[in-house]
Amino acid sequence: MSTSGKLWIILNPIAGKGKAASQIPVIEDFLKKQNENFELIITKGPGDAIEITRNLPLSGDDITIAAGGDGTCNEVANGLLTRKNSAPSGTGPSSAPPPLMGILPIGRGNDFSSTPNIPDDTVKAMELLIQRKIRPLDVGFVKGEFFPDGRYFINGVGIGFDTKVGFDAAKMKYVRSGLAYAFGAIINIVRYDPSPVVRIQYDDSEITLTAAIISIMNGRRMGGIFFMGPNALMDDGVLDICSIRRPKSRLRLIKLVGMYTKGTQIFEKEAVTGKAAHIHLTATEGGMAAHCDGETICYEGKELDIQCIPGALRLIGA
């Protein structure tokens, strides 16, 4: 299936430590040579891509392209799903065909784009875009704490150790994404904060555990090198759950964190895994530090409700 609509490119110029801005002439030259109908719009700050996307004069075949990192992808997805003609939050797509979304991964981490195998090379990614091959894309929806009305996500929700690592990595503005997360992991291993006791209710199952890490994934990777949901599929109608019980020692935590770089943590005794369309988390002791696609949900949250909305978007990609 293909489409021939206009390309609306929403570009975050500071993504990738400024790399994105340097790609503007590359993008424009390529698309002009291909005689594509396109418009490139530059964002000015956080949240701008959501508002720009909400107000685009889209026709049914137009494609909205997130040019930046995972944060830009998240904002464009939220903008598409909160347009006036979209379904109410959390209820799935309307009777109209789901919005079309594309990705130019020119940001720092580019985690989600690795799942559908979209190249980091700008020209190769654009070559893929203009082929206009369409595949369904599930979307997650999380409610709680800073987002009582909910927030969409396309990659995943992280809770616990990895979220705190992300908070510390985000402070390292001039360090490459994977290295920043590695440094953040070292900081948190040394600190070794207490872990919350969390009750996870998913579909017809329930488990309570002292959780070092909980990952609810639609994509496979976070932090540039960590495969939080190594078997996740973005179009199977469910989210992948990978929880790690708090290990007894820092040394064991170090080993487990190392396994995330290959996705083999799911085979360890501390791991609790599953797949579900609806997940509810309650901190019965302590509080949850959580993010979705890098957007902070809470620092000491008590309750989160997460669901998968099958095929809420259509992705242009491999």
Burial tier of 87 (Cβ tally within 10 Å: 0-12, 13-18, 19+) = middle
CA dist 187 and 169 (Å) reads 10
Q: Say which CATH architecture domain 7-137 belongs to.
A: 3-Layer(aba) Sandwich (3.40)
pLDDT of 279: 98
pLDDT of 39: 97
pLDDT of 68: 94
CA dist 122 and 129 (Å) reads 10
Give all strands (DSSP E) within the chain, no chain letters.
7-11, 38-42, 63-68, 100-105, 134-144, 147-153, 156-160, 197-202, 205-217, 239-245, 271-276, 278-285, 288-292, 295-301, 303-316
pTM of the model: 0.89
CA dist 227 and 263 (Å) reads 5
- Encoded tokens for 121: 């090379």
Q: Which ranges in the chain are annotated with CATH 3.40.50.10330?
A: 7-137
Q: What's the longest Cα–Cα distance across the chain?
A: 60
pLDDT of 2: 44
CA dist 283 and 209 (Å) reads 10
pLDDT of 6: 95
Residuewise pLDDT in 10s, the chain (318 residues): 445 789 999 999 988 878 889 999 999 999 999 999 999 999 999 999 999 999 999 988 999 999 999 999 999 999 999 998 665 444 544 568 999 999 999 988 799 999 999 999 999 999 999 999 999 999 999 999 999 999 999 999 999 987 887 777 777 766 665 677 777 778 777 777 789 999 999 998 999 999 999 999 999 998 888 899 999 999 999 999 999 999 989 899 889 989 999 999 999 999 999 999 999 999 999 999 999 998 899 999 999 999 999 999 999 976
pLDDT of 221: 94
Of the candidates 301, 207, 202, the residue with the CA atom closest to the CA atom of residue 245:
207
Domain 144-311 is in which class? Answer: mainly beta
Q: Which ranges in the chain are annotated with CATH 2.60.200.40?
A: 144-311
pLDDT of 16: 80
CA dist 233 and 138 (Å) reads 9
Give all strands (DSSP E) within 98-185, no chain letters.
100-105, 134-144, 147-153, 156-160
pLDDT of 177: 59
- Encoded tokens for 97: 């065909």
Compute the radius of gyration of the chain from its Cα atoms: 19
